[in-house]
């Protein structure tokens, strides 16, 4: 049976070419949502979109670099033109090139901030005019357990995820004050099977993270189900935060 709340909702997803974004797009489309996929890798987007369509779902895509507000705005506009309206944006794009601060991988710091934090800001900026005008909509963002507690070697990644946490909470508070009925949900996954580890250039940190992930790891599909759960709530119910761990994680 189709999920009646998710069915027919139009959802924009960034970071949709792999991992949590890909899994969420496929799950939501399977349950009747209309999904607009955004990421930088067009070949991957084409493949995933076609897989969704072949499975009976409704999907489209646009290449996007979330660091560029104009590109994110075009992604949102394409979703509205293609499907007629907009209900949800899932700001999911992110990277995790962890390293000790003393290594001074400054360009990696800036890239992480631009994608993980500025990218979420651009997603919010792209949908706020529509959501404010229609007095409805939902903004979901992928933070991390690193947005709830601190980890060595992850200062910049954690800073962006703490920033997302505050940003999303204030968005909810201001929407309530302004009466625009915008729902928000911040997802805090623990270690999740994805391409995040591929961004770590520090060999020692990479080895440590691989070991940690091998000990306790969520699947992208696990997190996708949590995203769907947040969308599936009644319009007058807002679940602000959802923390996701493997049951056996210590």
Active site residues: 157
- 119-157 b/e (C-beta count within 10 Å ≥ 16 → b): bbbbbbebbbebbbeeebbbbbbbbbbbbeeeeebbbbb
CA atoms within 13 A on the CB side of 139: 30
Within 10 Å of residue 114's Cβ, how many Cβ atoms? 17
* Lookup: tokens for 83: 């499907």
Query: Tokens for 37?
Result: 């996929």
* Spatial contact of 59 and 37, defined as CB atoms under 8 Å apart: yes
């Amino acid at each position: 049976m189709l999920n009646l709340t998710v069915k027919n909702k139009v959802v924009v997803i960034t970071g949709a070419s792999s991992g949590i974004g890909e899994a969420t797009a496929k799950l939501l489309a399977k349950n009747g949502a209309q999904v607009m996929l955004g990421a930088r890798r067009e070949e991957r987007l084409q493949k995933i979109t076609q897989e969704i369509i072949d499975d009976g779902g409704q999907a489209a895509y646009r290449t996007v670099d979330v660091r560029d507000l104009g590109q994110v705005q075009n992604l949102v506009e394409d979703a509205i033109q293609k499907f007629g309206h907009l209900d949800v944006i899932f700001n999911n794009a992110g990277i995790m090139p962890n390293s000790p601060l003393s290594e001074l991988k400054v360009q990696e710091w800036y890239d992480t901030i631009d994608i993980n934090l500025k990218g979420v800001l651009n997603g919010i900026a792209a949908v706020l005019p529509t959501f404010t005008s229609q007095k409805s909509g939902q903004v979901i963002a992928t933070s991390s357990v690193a947005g709830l507690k601190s980890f060595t070697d992850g200062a910049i990644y954690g800073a962006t995820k703490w920033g997302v946490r505050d940003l999303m909470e204030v968005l909810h508070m201001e929407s309530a004050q302004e009466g625009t009925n915008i729902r928000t949900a911040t997802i805090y996954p623990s270690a999740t099977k994805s391409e995040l580890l591929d961004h770590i250039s520090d060999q020692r940190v990479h080895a440590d993270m691989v070991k940690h992930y091998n000990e306790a790891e969520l699947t992208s599909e696990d997190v996708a189900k949590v995203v769907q759960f947040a969308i599936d709530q009644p319009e007058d119910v807002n679940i602000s935060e959802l923390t996701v761990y493997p049951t056996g994680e210590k």
